[in-house]
Structure 1
């Protein structure tokens, strides 16, 4: 029988940077404890070998890495932690050399041997990644190999070779930053900063000019990596898109990697699509059931937003995160909160439109006094105060969103929100005037309607200037609102005239009671009304004067006599005891002998 030969399997992606970053941050390298980290790497290699059943027995026999072993992705981790173990051992020895210079030559030789082992394992890892992993993982292993190679030449004082390796590693990491998400690029940026310091040091040791920049050093070396030759394949990019979601916040993109957060965010997107479909279908009918179904979808979207925010907050609260990662998580959270506020804005606009439609159907403008009765409460009729509350909530949401959109480089959303805020301010002003009209305050209603009219004219001009598709509906609404304002102005003026005629009738009745021989003219009535108004104004002025607090002035200064000077004459005749003179001791009496009494 022929034995089937094992087939080489593609291992997919291997995130070297992520594995190194998590292992280093959790096991000592936050505090530069290389001894703890190398011990961790040794234990990790031993555990992985046991899991793979690839450990050595009592007698050492070198084991070859066959195709079967390479099909297991744990083999890549074994090689990676072998490299990290040797590198950490070398750095630990260098720390010991800095503390004490005894046996420095021997320790330096030991460092060189450890770095040679690390370079050997790095070459093997790079060859396997070239054949078995995707293109992006291979580029990452290539950059890591050049990094280890640079340290190897650095320790041997081979400055030119070290410079070449460092520059190659830096150029690959820069190309990876351009195609990576913000969380992955944090590690690459840290590597680039370390490599730039090493490049400057090696350039100075190689008799280079101290003030040369990185670009000048690279041009002098003539070893620029062609960034176009280090692309990531389309397959890798499509896989990355499936594994995460990139969100755009204030002109920069941030990734959401957690699967729970991705699921809840996609549910939000699905809710948004369903809302748009329902709004298209119900644009003509707009029944109560259809409105309730749209509001139910909005509530579902809010629940999904809350779940997504909880997951991201949990990831942010991890103590192992760096400052750059925490900044990314805060930006993701602010993006989610901003989107939630926009959903709340759309929901509140729908609620206001529905309330206004119901108010118009019930002919609330002509029945404002009836809406204040208990019967209106029982019938659940829409009152102007309810629409005012909805407008207040909406204007608060507008303020929160506009504060964020001001920081955005693209100001289109900010302009739209600014115009919409003016439009809903006019609506609020109109319904506040309705409340004043119901309370027979006609002068206040006319002044409020004048303000609303000015706001509507300004907002309608801005709507016309924008020339956007969404503006057409609001232009029609502003025209309808202007007609309502004009109608309410007429109604308020009629009420004001009726109120003045009532005052005239009261005055005529008073004159009829008085004995003026029936000689009453319009001039006398008007003069009496003016006198009454002047009297009212005087009373108001007096009341205001009485309410002003009057402070008492300070009293006039009074003359007071001087204090008498007193002389102590007795002081001259008193003999005070002196310290120098000792008093004579008193002799003890007879009874002092019997102290026990």
Structure 2
């Protein structure tokens, strides 16, 4: 609540003591107020319910501050805002926040209507209510108490809210006219203010443009599809607006129409029929991905194109796996064995899709590597404010690339393809060179110069082997790997400079070590017993004396284990001999001796 209280509810440019408008009138930056409130209270994460609750609380605070409550606890007494009782700028915030509350509730219901279709009717009714509040705001701002900017912003907001309602109702002509009106107003406003405000208006214009193109497509403009696909690529897949799902649905429908004409595909000199709609849709999206990547402006948008393509590929592969579950060669491959004989067209199509998945994963990782390289220490684009890239971060990506490439030669149907095997082998050598280079960089950062120099020499061997392999390629094959060859030649130059730098650093480090050793006192070393400095050569004359310091005497006490306890366990298993006959003899001897003695004592009595 404290953060919400700090948001200003209104600003009066000039106002007379009686509460009427002054020379310039009331001013409300409608778009700025709306955008700030949305970003600070939930819409950054698409939480419409949180934003709706904020709008309700803010309305209550404004009414209390204006003493314009709608009744009390017992009954409701609605009050209408008129031009006469509008004595403060905060009165304009009442219809604005009410419209925003209705709009956010409608967007929340729209998200829930995917599983509960009945909520769509509730959503439309909330949008109608929001249009009423937006019209009320435009009517109040149209009075003489408001300045020109507030009037234009209120008109644009009202037109945008109406266009949103028409868009949901499918009334495309009315929607495109209203969106066009709002776009025109925001474009005019963007030319009349400073850069910060200008960027806000231009952002609003960019948000409206896809809606206009979508309405144009539904009216009958077939050229709008390509524009929508490019706009969808530029958003990066993270937009939370109401148009994103509709554009995705439109693209899917368009691809379904095009997929009807795609009946076969050729790869590695073999033509395979394509019978499944999902596989056809993926192959069409593969063809369009090149244009989407070319039109994408940011790295995140390009990565999102790859992610979407890989997701479609996995779904298409699952369809083929379900169909191949009875194929004997497919069962052998699943068990890690080699396919026998010529593989079927369906299994070869599965191999083609797996090849696409592996190669596109490699391309995505290379894109992420290029992004990480921009913030390596020493690079031209290094920025201290961003996260610093470590060489070991790049090593992990190159290991994933090498692992993906190692799976390609083992795919069923291409084991005997020498051309493909040569391509994969050369690419693997090139990426091993990059991996080894950044491992060497890691050792160099840790000042382990011998290890780093050895790895740099190994990088040169990888580079020479890969370059000779690239030079053997001709025609289209050489054109496809032209960029890889350029990257490898650039790496060769980096290795030469890094190797000489490492050698120089190791020499300098040896000088530092010598200085450190010279600082060590010989007397201090000579004081140690000889047994403790066998690895250190010191000319100690004391060793030739009559009492050389050889060992420490008396020796230092050392802990020893306690005396163990012993238990005679064998005694439990010993069988002793029978001594009964010895006992009988002792009894007889005892009886003879006692009888004689007792006779002596009883002789006197008798």
Question: Normalising to structure 2: TM-score of the pair?
Answer: 0.37
More helix by proportion, 1 or 2?
Answer: 1
Give the number of the structure with larger relative contact order, counting CA–CA contacts within 8 Å between residues 6 or more apart.
1
Question: Normalising to structure 1: TM-score of the pair?
Answer: 0.38
